[in-house]
Amino acid sequence: MTTRAGFVALIGEPNAGKSTLTNRMVGAKVSIVTHKVQTTRARIRGVALEGDSQIVFVDTPGLFQPRRRLDRAMVAAAWGGVADADITVLLIEAHRGITHGVERILETLNDQKGRRVVLAINKIDRVEAPQLLDLTEKLNAAYDFEQTFMISAEKGHGVKDLREWLAGEMPESPWLYPEDQIADLPMRMIAAEMTREKLTLRLHQELPYQLTVETEAWEERKDGSARIDQIVYVMRDGHKGIVLGNKGETIKAVGKLAREELVEFLGRKVHLFLQVKVRKNWLEEAERYSEMGLDFRDGN
Ligand SMILES: Nc1nc2c(ncn2[C@@H]2O[C@H](COP(=O)(O)OP(=O)(O)OP(=O)(O)O)[C@@H](O)[C@H]2O)c(=O)[nH]1
Ligand SMILES: [Mg+2]
């Protein structure tokens, strides 16, 4: 049997649906999703099987005009994903069309020679057909895409076609991961991401962008359960109060939701303990970046 395997980078503006597509391709939630921009902070590898092909989807942080060190490190991680990939899929939101952000991404892609890039217009459930055709034409005039797919990552439309096409394009190679592996990300990081997702959904305005979550300890217990200790780092005393909530109700609700998801992911009992710590300068600490799977120096 000839097997195929390779890497497919998913890139696009923040909120384009990259993580939703990653999860749909893998068939499990390996990357967190929210309705807010800049949810994904590092490269998340999800593994999918299609026929004899193993496709490693590389979910990346959204591409935007970075301001902070963290933003720069995120954008660098995304372009790094492209550099390492066999094929890149650019996701565009059907209803938003060619924004300034999309124009900038196309410019950068045009500056990079020799990349294999396909276009996936996502969220087609939000627009009518004529609008889609118009957008497809304009995008293909702006960049020489190998293929165009129209998909709804959320509803699943067109996703099978995209996966089958990608599978056929993967280079001949032994599989890169064991057949049953769906993600290449330490469990402690997946667990921290789950908590960060719940915090992001629960907290307002800028706060989700000013915190990070780390798994501090992971203990396998004799009864088969896991005890997981996590720290939520925030930048100000006031933020700590908000994350805790009145009588600790916010952190309690977040912990409950995160724990439920961990139980589902791990298939066993989980004891999750969350602690909130103020760390004014965490955005400038190298260790925080390595915990997130980012390169601190990329932020320079
Ligand atoms: N209507 C619709 N919504 C979608 C679709 N795909 C994703 N979404 C929604 O778009 C939002 C952003 O999805 P994500 O998958 O987190 O987007 P992302 O590109 O990973 O975002 P960042 O990590 O911030 O760069 C979420 O609310 C999704 O539910 C789709 O096909 N249709
Ligand atoms: Mg994402």
**What are 163-222's pLDDT values in tens digits?**
999 999 999 999 999 999 999 999 999 999 999 999 999 999 999 999 999 999 999 999
Give distance in angstroms: CA of 35 to centre of ligand 1: 6
Confirm whether residue 124 is marked as ligand binding: yes
Q: Ligand 1: residues whose CB is within 6 Å?
A: 12, 14-20, 33-35, 37-40, 61-62, 122-123, 125-126, 152-155
Q: Read out DSSP for 64-127?
A: ----SHHHHHHHHHHHHHHHH-SEEEEEEETTT-S-HHHHHHHHHHHHSTT--EEEEEE-GGGS
Atom of ligand 1 nearest to the CA of 14: 25
- Fold classification of 186-299 is GMP Synthetase; Chain A, domain 3 (3.30.300)
| Predicted confidence band of residue 3 (pLDDT cuts 50, 70, 90) | very high
**Best mutation site among 10, 33, 201 for ligand 1 pocket (most ligand atoms within 8 Å of CB):** 33
Confirm whether residue 15 is marked as ligand binding: yes
Q: Indicate the SS3 state at residue 168.
A: helix
- The pLDDT tens digits of the residues spanning 110-144 come to 999 899 999 999 999 999 999 999 999 999 999 99
Domain extents for the chain? 4-169, 186-299
Residues in CB range of 182: below 8 A, 6 or more apart: 26, 27, 28, 30, 46, 47
Which pLDDT score is estimated for 200? 98
Query: Which superfamily, per CATH, for 4-169?
Result: P-loop containing nucleotide triphosphate hydrolases (3.40.50.300)
- The pLDDT tens digits of the residues spanning 246-292 come to 999 999 999 999 999 999 999 999 999 999 999 999 999 999 999 99
Tokens for 248, please give them: 């600790």
Residues in CB range of 97: below 8 A, 6 or more apart: 135, 138
Which pLDDT score is estimated for 1? 79
Atom of ligand 1 nearest to the CA of 157: 31
Give distance in angstroms: CA of 224 to centre of ligand 1: 35
Confirm whether residue 55 is marked as ligand binding: no
How far apart CA 190 and CA 174 sit, in angstroms, is 26
Mean pLDDT over residues 79-100, rounded? 98
Which pLDDT score is estimated for 69? 97
**If you compute the radius of gyration of the chain from its CA atoms, what whole number of angstroms results?**
20
